[in-house]
């Protein structure tokens, strides 16, 4: 009942006894730039406390984040304590607090990764969407494919994250504001392309963005068994295209 929660089989051996400490390959540190973290100014409350410099520490941070993914998505954010996370990561709470000032910061780190993935998916699709030579449909399909990929990476996590964001008392401006930017870009694209129907493009962009997000989530979470992956994608593309496309005027 007291939730012994043995470290998950896969990650990090459960060296309970203090003696059997970590012995890792001490390969010279690969100075990889912290991947997947968008350049955003985070408030002290949520910013990482200090960056790991040794490989050992990087592993610790990674294990913590993996454990957090696991627990947030299975038990929910509120029901997951920092002690849970640490234990599951095969790490002490103290170590967790070396790198994250508080629980929200752990979620924020996860959120940052997720948003970075979403952002890069969107960014990859802006050029084709801008290009009037590329059919609108193709750009939209590509975007949905990429977003689906992001959500598929860890469906439970992206669900948990997106739900929790709304609950966070402070959603860092930098992380939330990216949406506004993209909606603006989208509005501009809609106004430019000749194959988009006339109308209030700013408004259309707001709706389109919201619907796109929803649809990409549904693509992953709605009974993937009942409908084929591609079938669903086709229908989703259809929905978005029909909304914005200028009707050909001829042909059905």
Residues lying near a second copy in the complex (CB under 8 A): 75-79, 159, 163-164, 166-167, 169, 199-200, 202-204, 206-207, 210-211, 213-215, 218, 222-223, 226-227, 231-232, 235-236, 238-239, 242-243, 247, 249, 252
Q: Is 168 in the site for DNA (CB under 7 A)?
A: no
Q: Is 55 in the site for DNA (CB under 7 A)?
A: yes
Of 75-83, 181-189, 200-208, 214-222, the window that binds DNA (rule: CB under 7 A) is: 75-83
Candidates 13, 22, 210, 238; binder of DNA (CB under 7 A) is 22
Of 96-104, 110-118, 146-154, 198-206, the window that binds DNA (rule: CB under 7 A) is: 96-104
Decide: 84 and 92 in contact? Cβ < 8 Å: no
Q: Is 24 in the site for DNA (CB under 7 A)?
A: yes
Least gap, CB of 188 to a second copy (angstroms)? 16
Q: What is the DSSP letter of 172?
A: -
**For the purposes of burial, counting CB atoms within 10 Å of the CB of 77, is it exposed (0-12), middle (13-18) or buried (19 or more)?**
buried
Distance from C-alpha of 241 to C-alpha of 248, rounded to nearest angstrom:
12
Residue 233: other Cβ atoms inside 10 A? 18
Residue 91 interacting entry, from DNA, a second copy, none, C-beta within 5 to 8 Å by type: DNA
Angle between helix axes 55-75 and 155-167 (nearest 10 degrees) is: 80
Residue 140 interacting entry, from DNA, a second copy, none, C-beta within 5 to 8 Å by type: none
Distance from C-alpha of 171 to C-alpha of 126, rounded to nearest angstrom:
25
Q: What is the DSSP letter of 245?
A: B
Nearest to 96 by CA among 107, 112, 109, 83: 83
Distant-in-sequence contacts of 4-10, Cβ < 8 A, 24+ apart: 5/84, 5/87, 5/88, 7/87, 7/88, 7/89, 7/90, 8/67, 8/70, 8/88
Q: Is 252 in the site for DNA (CB under 7 A)?
A: no
Q: Is 164 in the site for DNA (CB under 7 A)?
A: no
Candidates 38, 52, 135, 155; binder of DNA (CB under 7 A) is 52
Of 14-22, 120-128, 213-221, 243-251, the window that binds DNA (rule: CB under 7 A) is: 14-22
Distance from C-alpha of 117 to C-alpha of 103, rounded to nearest angstrom:
22
Candidates 6, 29, 127, 199; binder of DNA (CB under 7 A) is 29
Candidates 9, 10, 94, 247; binder of DNA (CB under 7 A) is 94
Interface ranges with DNA (CB under 7 A): 1-2, 15-18, 21-24, 26, 28-29, 50, 52-57, 59-60, 79-84, 90-95, 97-98, 101-103
């Amino acid at each position: 009942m007291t939730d012994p929660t043995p470290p998950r089989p896969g990650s990090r051996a459960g060296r309970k006894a203090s003696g059997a400490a970590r012995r890792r390959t001490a390969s010279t540190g690969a100075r990889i730039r912290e991947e997947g973290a968008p350049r955003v100014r985070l408030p002290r409350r949520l910013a990482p406390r200090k960056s790991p410099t040794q490989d050992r520490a990087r592993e610790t941070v990674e294990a913590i984040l993996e454990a957090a993914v696991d627990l947030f998505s299975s038990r929910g954010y509120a029901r997951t304590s920092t002690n849970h996370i640490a234990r599951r990561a095969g790490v002490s709470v103290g170590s967790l607090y070396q790198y994250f000032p508080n629980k929200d910061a752990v979620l924020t780190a996860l959120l940052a990764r997720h948003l970075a993935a979403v952002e890069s998916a969107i960014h990859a699709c802006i050029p084709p969407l801008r290009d009037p030579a590329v059919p609108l449909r193709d750009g939209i399909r590509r975007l949905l494919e990429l977003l689906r990929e992001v959500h598929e990476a860890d469906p439970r996590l992206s669900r948990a994250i997106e739900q929790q964001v709304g609950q966070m008392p402070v959603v860092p401006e930098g992380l939330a504001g990216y949406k506004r930017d993209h909606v603006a870009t989208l509005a501009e694209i809609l106004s430019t392309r000749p194959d988009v129907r006339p109308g209030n493009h700013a408004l259309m962009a707001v709706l389109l963005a919201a619907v796109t997000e929803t649809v990409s989530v549904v693509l992953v979470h709605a009974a993937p068994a009942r409908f084929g992956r591609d079938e669903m994608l086709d229908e989703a593309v259809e929905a978005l295209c029909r909304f914005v496309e200028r009707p050909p005027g001829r042909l059905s």
